[in-house]
Amino acid sequence: MGDIMTKKKKPEDCLPPGRPTKYKEEYCELVPQLMAEGMGMEEVAAELGVWKATLYNWGEEHPSFLNAIKRGQALCYAWWMREGRTSLRDKDFNYTGWYMNMKNRHGWADKVETKGDGGGVRLMWATPPSLPAGQAQLDDPVIIDGEVVDESGTEGGTT
């Protein structure tokens, strides 16, 4: 056999490993627009032709995109809240479906606590975890470390 030698490539002549990114700066405007129509992360990912995990990866790599995701999540939540609020008097509105969607998509939960001291049952409602801080509804109680606090920040406010 002949003496065939392969030449090693210099690092600057090599392509980076993996596929080229599909990320585009314009997604920072597009993602909140899509989510303002009620789309969740799965739908946005499908619209952009990527996996949902890719959106989170882009958020880690591009702070402006992470901000766009956070804005989009707040807009998505607002869209779903508005849909529920404006449809309550519609006899064909499927409240149960909407409520289940809010529990599954936005982390709503009914929390029932029972106390062994004969104090009965205390129902607590919390601001959903998908709602950014500072955007709670005025009538939502605040729960810190499992304790309901009133608007003044003192313990003891219960519903």
- What CATH number should be reported for the domain holding residue 72? 1.10.10
pLDDT tens for each residue of 108-120? 887 766 666 665 5
State pTM to two decimals: 0.60
Confidence of residue 41 (pLDDT cuts 50, 70, 90): very high
Same domain, 101 and 81: yes
Which residue segment(s) compose the domain that 143 sits in?
111-149
Higher pLDDT, 13 or 129: 13
Number of domains into which the chain is organized? 2
**Residues 136 and 93 reside in one and the same domain:** no
Give the separation between CA 111 and CA 159, rounded to whole angstroms: 12
Are 31 and 97 contained in the same domain?
yes
Q: How far apart are CA 156 and CA 153, in angstroms?
A: 9
The residue among 106, 124, 140 that closes a domain is 106
- Residue 56 inside a domain? The answer is yes
Asked whether residue 27 falls in the same domain as residue 83, the answer is: yes
